Amino acid sequence: MSAAVPAATQTRLIRPAGSVRGSLALPGDKSISHRYALLAGFAQGTSHIANFSSGADPHSSLACMAALGARVESDPQTRTATVTGTAGRFTQPSGELDCGNSGSTMRMLAGLVAAQAGTFRFTGDASLSARPMERIREPLESMGARIDLTGGHAPMTVHGGPLTAIDFEAPIASAQVKTAVLFAGLQAQGTTSLAEQVRTRDHTEHALRAFGAELLRRPDSGGQTRLYIAGGQTLNALDLTVPGDISSAAFFLCAALLFPDSNLVLDNLGLNPTRAVLLDVVTGMGGGIKMLEVADQHGEMAGTIQVNRKPGPLQAVDLSGQLAAQLIDEIPVLAAVAPYTSNGIRIRDARELRVKESDRIALVVKNLRAMGAQVTEHEDGMDIPGNQTLHGAGIDSGHDHRIAMAFSIAALRATGDTEIHGAEAASISFPEFFDWLDELAVR
């Protein structure tokens, strides 16, 4: 049911480059595409989604919505999806909801089906079947659903039914868990409220409002900022355009940092402030970023940026605390270019990296060492000294898209060629990645 990732393992050869130059329009943001797919499938009427992500993961969300009764047409070539929703009533799927590699699909959709009469069995690939699901079971069960897990993981069965609103204090920084609770709250009896310690990406909040839901964000009586969503709201279809994926852009932004005469123009790039903190970090490291144009698209900021490298050495950064949570998807590529900075990168408070599509701390450390770098591993991060020279090596992607792409960028400044084993994993979020890299890398 999910968009298939080629089973065979591919190896890509990455040769060193001298610069990156050119312009690109990134495929639609993965996080936003998931939310539009799920809410369009839940809403009443037909939504047309332009610049839908070409990655396999958001297509898993579309496939699940089709299995739940939505009518879905999608074309990864034209990056469009047309979804006729179920007007808030899913049909019982005839089989399992196969989420492929996509944790977002499994966790967020669990919130939508938790309020629906029926039994919904979720499965995923080997990587997804090892990822923690307790984090959504706990709040959804306290609202009245019953969820069976397998040792804390998928396969997962959600027994849906009438839900009651809760006041939820998010124990971990996770936009997926926040979304599951808001999606359940949308259908619960009463008003659900939620507070998070770290402000995670807020695409769900914008998407819910775009589809017509009312959602408030304001301080409670103790002065803590909370989200409030009343149950029993209906959603209406609309036409949307997904901004380009800033987490995919991160690979090219880091590539631009590596060379003094880089020059990239990125069009229709998502600039949501809860994600665009990456641009501050890139600027702090020595990137020159100009905003050429910015517009609001259904609450999401999108625009054109131009990126180059300011004169002087690449600066060190410290990625810890709130910053680590907000940059969680970009840490692999920032770590992969860390040896080329003058004073290295320190990463802490990023334990969540161990339970992503792979153990990203272990794999980054292993692959940096394969390229000859010194690195110290910590339970919740790593220390990567600067001023290091890397050599080409065989890289193990661990079937993880962000690892495959991160080390393709490190390879651009290494001495000698690098082989990325398991390169096909890039198609989970960014199937066009290697084509764009070939086009933009100047050799």
| Catalytic machinery residues | 329
- Closest CB to ligand S3P among residues 38, 395: 38
Instruction: State yes or no: cis peptide before 155, omega within 30 of 0.
Output: yes
Residue whose CB is less far from ligand S3P, 41 or 286: 41
Stretch that binds ligand S3P, among 66-74, 154-162, 174-182, 306-314 (CB under 6 A): 174-182
Q: Measured from the CB of residue 329, what is the shortest distance to ligand S3P in angstroms?
A: 5
Residues 195-254 that bind ligand S3P (CB under 6 A): 201
Among 98, 329, 396, 424, binds ligand S3P (CB under 6 A): 329
Measured from the CB atom, the residue of 204 and 367 that comes closer to ligand S3P is 204
Taking the complex as a whole, the smallest distance from the CB of residue 38 to ligand S3P amounts, in Å, to 11
| Residue from 113, 156, 170, 175 binding ligand S3P (CB under 6 A) | 175
Tokens of 352: 């969540």
Size of the site for ligand S3P (CB under 6 A): 10
Exposed, middle or buried: residue 7 (CB in 10 Å: 0-12, 13-18, 19+)? exposed
The length of the chain is 443
Chain positions 13 to 32 lying near ligand S3P, rule: CB under 6 A, are 31
Region near ligand S3P per CB under 6 A, out of 46-54, 170-178, 296-304, 313-321: 170-178
Q: Look at phi and psi of residue 265 and say left if phi exceeds 0, alpha if psi is from -120 to 50, else beta.
A: beta
Q: Judged by CB, which is closer to ligand S3P: 68, or 173?
A: 173
Contacts of 412 (CB under 8 A, 6+ apart): 14, 16, 17, 20, 255, 258, 259, 441
Task: State yes or no: residue 105 binds ligand S3P (CB under 6 A).
Answer: no
Name the residue nearer to ligand S3P (CB basis): 347 or 390.
Answer: 347
Contact region for ligand S3P (CB under 6 A) — 44-52, 168-176, 306-314, 343-351?
Answer: 168-176
Contact 390, 373 (CB under 8 A): yes
Closest-CA residue to 86 (of 122, 117, 60, 50): 117
For residue 171, give the 3-state DSSP assignment: coil
Amino acid at 366: K
Of 402, 381, 424, nearest to 103 by C-alpha is: 402
User: Minimum CB separation from ligand S3P for residue 202, in Å?
Assistant: 10
Please choose, from the candidates 18, 10, 23, 12, the residue with its C-alpha nearest in 3D space to the C-alpha of residue 439: 23
Query: Which of 79, 97, 4 minimizes the C-alpha distance to 36?
Result: 79
Burial of residue 221, with CB atoms counted within 10 A of its CB: 0-12 exposed, 13-18 middle, 19 or more buried: exposed
- 55-84 binders of ligand S3P (CB under 6 A): none
Binding site for ligand S3P (CB under 6 A): 31, 34, 104, 174-176, 201, 328-329, 352
